[in-house]
Amino acid sequence: MLAACYIRVSTDEQAEQGISIPAQKSRLLSYCQARGWEVYGFYVDDGYSGKDLDRPAMQRLIEDAAAKKFNTALVLKLDRLSRRQKDVLYLLEEIFEPGGVGFKSVTESFDTTTPFGKAALGMMAVFAQLERETIVERVRMAKNESARQGRFMGGPAPFGYRYNFGAKKLEIDEIQAQEIRWIYDRYLSGKLGYGYIAGELERKGVPGPTDERWNKTSVRKILTNPAYAGLVNHKGSVYQGKHEAIISPEKWREVQVLIKSKGAVRAAAGVHTGLLSGIIWCGECGARMRVKNVWQNYPRLSPKKVTKYYVCYSQDKTGSSHMVRDPDCRCGYKHADEIENEVIQQLYIYSYDKVLLRQAVNESLAAAGDKRSFIRGINQARKDFNSVEKKLEKWCDAFEKGALEPDELVERVKELKERKAYLHNHIIEMENRLKEENERKINTEELLEILQNFTRIWENATADERREIVINTIKEVRIYTDNRIEVEFNL
The catalytic residues are 10
Residues 298, 216: Cα–Cα separation, whole Å? 45
Pairing verdict, β 485-489 and 474-479:
antiparallel
Exposed (0-12), middle (13-18) or buried (19+): which is 417, by Cβ within 10 Å?
middle
- Check if the beta carbon of residue 468 is closer than 8 Å to that of residue 450: no
**Which residues on neighbouring strands pair with residue 270, listed in sequence order?**
none
Contacts 24+ apart (CB under 8 A), 142-150: 143/234, 144/234, 144/235, 147/232, 147/234, 147/235, 147/237, 147/239, 148/239, 149/239, 149/242, 150/232, 150/239, 150/240, 150/241, 150/242, 150/243
Kindly report the number of other CB atoms within 10 A of residue 349's CB atom. 11
Query: Among 353, 342, 331, which Cα is nearest to 285's?
Result: 331
Strand order in the sheet with 280-282: 280-282, 474-479, 485-489
Q: For the chain, state the CA radius of gyration.
A: 36
Residues 429, 358: Cα–Cα separation, whole Å? 31
